[in-house]
């Protein structure tokens, strides 16, 4: 993170999930929420129009200055602001320009990022990966399985490693926390599946560090010690707020990049 004194110390982060849309202003010096967050249930069906209205409603519940950058996470491939997949959300999102839709609906500059990438950014800037060079691989275990890959602190976006196929279906279908719940797996049974998955990731990427996020990471003592890997595998620190914090951090750096690019063109 640059030490430029003119950088805003705050940004607004919003985390769009399958069941809730959460947001709060983020104190980017401390890497934590500046006030309590607000959560609004995700409208069903979660179409682009309905979700955009909810995002606008959430922002209007805070006195957000028109100048504050806003970062939004979305659980799909986000390429240059456009959704390119929809594994656990309404299929009508595919090919939606999420950034333009939300910018137009909210009247703010909105930057959009994959949810796991946002959680990874939060961990690299403020949490378990802070200062770690080399290859860091963050995975989130929740309804789906998300991934965020960093090389010397730089994000390689949209890795989607939860969708690596195993016997014709995504690993996600059997190793997500939702699969553990659905199938009533005990920690050992679940860890056996995780072992196969993380050993494969290790073969592919030889990471220096694995970070595991998602709500279940607060119960890490039950399953992380059961995994045998060469790299250390540790729980995320930003937990529930990772998406909000990472999205806000991203919004600040993207805003800066956009302004620099605009200044160059003048």
Residues of the shown chain interacting with ligand BGC in the complex, contacts defined by CB under 6 A: 75-77, 85, 87-88, 114-116, 140, 142, 144, 146, 160, 162-163, 172
CA distances for 132 relative to 135, 149, 196, 226, angstroms: 8, 12, 25, 24
- For residues 125 and 160, which CB has a smaller minimum distance to ligand BGC in the complex? 160
Shortest reach from residue 176's CB to ligand BGC, in Å = 8
- For residues 1 and 164, which CB has a smaller minimum distance to ligand BGC in the complex? 164
Shortest reach from residue 175's CB to ligand BGC, in Å = 12
- For residues 119 and 128, which CB has a smaller minimum distance to ligand BGC in the complex? 119
Cβ-closest residue to ligand BGC?
144
Shortest reach from residue 172's CB to ligand BGC, in Å = 6
- For residues 115 and 241, which CB has a smaller minimum distance to ligand BGC in the complex? 115
Say how far apart CA 13 and CA 58 lie, in whole Å. Answer: 11
Shortest reach from residue 85's CB to ligand BGC, in Å = 6
Shortest reach from residue 55's CB to ligand BGC, in Å = 17
- For residues 23 and 75, which CB has a smaller minimum distance to ligand BGC in the complex? 75
- For residues 106 and 147, which CB has a smaller minimum distance to ligand BGC in the complex? 147
SS (H, E, C) the chain: CCCCCCCCCEEEEEEECCCEEEEEEEECCCCEECCCCEEEECCCCCCHHHHHHHHHHHHHCCCCCCCCCEEEEECCCEECCEECCCCCCCHHHCCCEHHHHHHHHHCCCEEEEEHHHHHHHHHHHHCCCCCCCCEEEEEEECCCEEEEEEECCEEECCCCHHHCEECCEECHHHHCHHHHHHHCCCHHHHHHHHHHHHHHHHHHHCCCEEEEECHHHHHHHHCHHHCCCCCCEEECCCHHHHHHHHHHHHHHHHHHHHHHHHHHHC
- For residues 76 and 211, which CB has a smaller minimum distance to ligand BGC in the complex? 76
Shortest reach from residue 144's CB to ligand BGC, in Å = 3
Shortest reach from residue 142's CB to ligand BGC, in Å = 6
């Amino acid at each position: 993170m640059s030490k430029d004194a003119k950088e805003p110390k705050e940004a607004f982060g919003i985390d769009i999930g399958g069941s809730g849309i959460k947001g709060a202003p983020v104190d980017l010096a401390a890497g934590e929420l500046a006030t309590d967050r607000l959560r609004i249930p995700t409208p069903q069906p979660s179409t682009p129009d309905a979700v955009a209205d909810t995002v606008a409603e959430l922002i209007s519940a805070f006195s957000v200055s028109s100048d504050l950058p806003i970062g939004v996470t979305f659980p799909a491939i986000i390429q240059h602001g456009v959704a390119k997949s929809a594994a656990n959300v309404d299929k009508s999102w595919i090919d939606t320009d999420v950034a333009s839709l939300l910018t137009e609906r909210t009247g703010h500059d909105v930057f959009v990022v994959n949810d796991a990438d946002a959680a990874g950014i939060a961990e690299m800037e403020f949490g378990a990966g802070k200062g770690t060079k080399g290859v860091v691989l963050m995975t989130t275990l929740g309804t789906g399985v998300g991934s965020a890959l960093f090389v010397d602190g730089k994000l390689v976006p949209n890795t989607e490693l939860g969708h690596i196929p195993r016997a014709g279906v995504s690993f996600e279908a059997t190793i997500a926390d939702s699969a553990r719940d659905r199938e009533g797996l005990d920690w050992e049974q679940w860890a056996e599946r995780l072992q196969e998955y993380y050993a494969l990731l290790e073969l592919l990427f030889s990471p220096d560090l694995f970070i595991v996020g998602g709500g279940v990471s607060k119960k890490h003592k039950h399953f992380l010690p059961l995994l045998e890997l060469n790299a250390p595998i540790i729980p995320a620190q930003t937990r529930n707020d990772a998406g909000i914090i990472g999205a806000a951090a991203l919004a600040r750096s993207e805003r800066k990049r956009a302004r620099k690019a605009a200044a160059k063109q003048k």
